[in-house]
Amino acid sequence: MKRILIIIAAVCVLIVAIYFAFIYYVPYSEGYRSGELIRMSHKGVLMKTWEGELSQGVSGSQIFRFSVLDSDKEVIDQLNTLEGQYVKLTYVERYKTFSWWGDSHFFITAVRKETSPFKYK
């Protein structure tokens, strides 16, 4: 009986490990988004996550919401510096997210400052 319980527990741990590995290592999509970075915040009560918004329209009606993993300190610093400016974001979309990662399925991996196509000379 003890051996069966150990086998069941090991199978359960293996299933959970495979699930977490799939969510972490297998992206749903990858791509780029450009727009004006309108918000970056470090929010949460128990688990603080970095969340942001990118305005992709002239009127601000098209908002792209994203998260940044805590391990990407350089990306977080760049986003905080470039807030209010036109940027190009590189993102990875995941199938699912966990509460300690962030609210969004979109995770930013790189950021680059761009010139805005809406500014007239």
Is 15 inside a domain boundary?
no
* Residue 119 confidence class, pLDDT cut points 50, 70, 90: low
pTM equals 0.77
**Containing structural domain, residue 106:** 27-113
pLDDT for res 99? 74
Is 45 inside a domain boundary?
yes
Is 1 inside a domain boundary?
no
* Model confidence pLDDT, tens digit, residues 58-94: 666 788 899 998 888 999 999 999 988 899 999 999 8
* Model confidence pLDDT, tens digit, residues 21-49: 888 888 888 999 998 898 898 888 888 88
CATH value at residue 101: 2.40.50.140
pLDDT for res 111? 94
Number of structural domains (the chain) is: 1
**Residue burial 36-62, b: 16+ Cβ < 10 Å; e: rest:** bbeebeeeeeeeebbbbbbbeeeeeee
